[in-house]
Amino acid sequence: MWLTWRAAMEHALYGESGFYLRERPSSHFRTSVGASPVFAEAVLRELAAIDEALGGPDVLDLVDIGAGEGELAAGVLAAAPPALRSRLRVTAVDLAPRPPALPEEIVWSRAAPDGIHGLVIANEWLDNVPVDIAEQTADGPRLVMVNVTDGEERLGGMPSEADLAWLDRWWPMRAVGERAEIGRPRDRAWASVIVRLARGGAIAIDYSHALDDRPPYGTLAGYRDGAMVAPVPDGSCDITAHVALDACAASGESAGAVTTALTTQREALRALGITGGRPPVEQARNDPRGYLQALARASEEAELIAAGGLGGFGWLSQSRH
Ligand SMILES: C[S@@+](CC[C@H](N)C(=O)[O-])C[C@H]1O[C@@H](n2cnc3c(N)ncnc32)[C@H](O)[C@@H]1O
């Protein structure tokens, strides 16, 4: 069966017995959430800052979109001090079924709630929102079609007018053979988050690229059992493509965001106090146990902010008030 990449990804990842409805993401790849509980602590710091800015509302929302196994939502809840925890309403949003061990207080839902007061966090969600792929030909961009059983590709028709306009604005292809991942469904997905935010902040964290630095042949990739594999959309592997977060930012602004910051995870986490700083060596003599704990934490922090690794992820942070 030949489909556009968007339809093929939709079916492979979220169709009946699709990859994400069947598998535990952590068995296949490592995200910041799984890398260290320090990530949840940083999210809690961001949430506390929003709480303060909102004047400590009676109910403070934390909404985790693309929650996977719910580890981040559970981690923030567990780390929250009692005065915050008692006001916290945590919603984990995913298309997958509710994980069995999730704490009862966490609401599990297939869609984000309306009227959010607090923080929305979406770690590695948008890269799994299916996109079509276009290839530049001598006659202009054409859609790439894929055979869902073996991943073979061939060219199809022209992209829609709306997709052509998106390509012009956000991912102009220059030479024949170049490929672009048409991010319009991600822009819409992100806008749908911003319209649900009544007051507070929304953060999307993902592998990303910007208009002046798009990869000329795209970023489509497959992952299975911790290894990169050919992206065959047969439901046997994760299929992902990096995110044009600058386009999502513009879409979020059109949907009502009043502030936008686009930075790296390294910079964002450093601003939240995650620096990877090592404990002083004298501590090794006075408090060897504490020293070892501090050293382990420093190495987890360092992984989250490593420039060539997780620290290189894009952080799109927008707010409404
Ligand atoms: C790469 S995993 C990330 C899991 C988790 N956030 C983490 O960082 O470990 C992406 C998750 O997004 C979910 N997802 C994709 N599209 C979705 C949608 N439209 N609504 C809710 N969840 C979605 C998938 O089911 C999957 O669990």
* Other residues' Cβ atoms within 10 Å of the Cβ of residue 272: 16
Ligand 1 centre and the CA of 73: distance in Å? 13
Q: Is the CB of 303 under 6 A from ligand 1?
A: no
Q: How far apart are CA 197 and CA 116, in angstroms?
A: 5
14, 76, 94, best to mutate for ligand 1 pocket (most atoms within 8 Å of CB): 94
Q: Is the CB of 68 under 6 A from ligand 1?
A: yes
Question: How would you write the pLDDT of the chain (321 residues) with one tens digit per residue?
Answer: 999 999 999 999 999 989 999 888 888 888 999 999 999 999 999 999 999 999 999 999 999 999 999 999 999 999 999 999 999 999 999 999 999 999 999 999 999 999 999 999 999 999 999 999 999 999 999 999 999 999 999 999 999 999 999 999 999 999 999 999 999 999 999 999 999 999 999 999 999 999 999 999 999 999 999 899 999 999 999 999 999 999 999 999 999 999 999 999 999 999 999 999 999 999 999 999 999 999 999 999 999 999 999 999 999 999 998
Residue 17's pLDDT is: 84
CA of 203 to the centre of ligand 1 (A): 14
pLDDT of residue 164: 98
- Cα 130 to Cα 23, 42, 256, 314, distances in angstroms: 18, 29, 24, 19
Residue 20 CA, closest ligand 1 atom number: 25
Predicted confidence at residue 80, as pLDDT, reads 97
Alpha carbon of 70 to ligand 1 centroid (Å): 10
pLDDT at position 226 is 87
Residue nearest to atom 11 of ligand 1 (CA): 66
Return the residue whose CA atom lies nearest to atom 14 of ligand 1: 66
- Let me know: does 137 contact 154? Beta carbons within 8 Å: no
Amino acid 25: pLDDT: 84
Half-sphere exposure of 301 (CA within 13 A, CB side): 21
Pocket flag, ligand 1, residue 61 (CB < 6 Å): no
Match 């060596």 to its residue by tokens: 281
Amino acid of residue 285: R
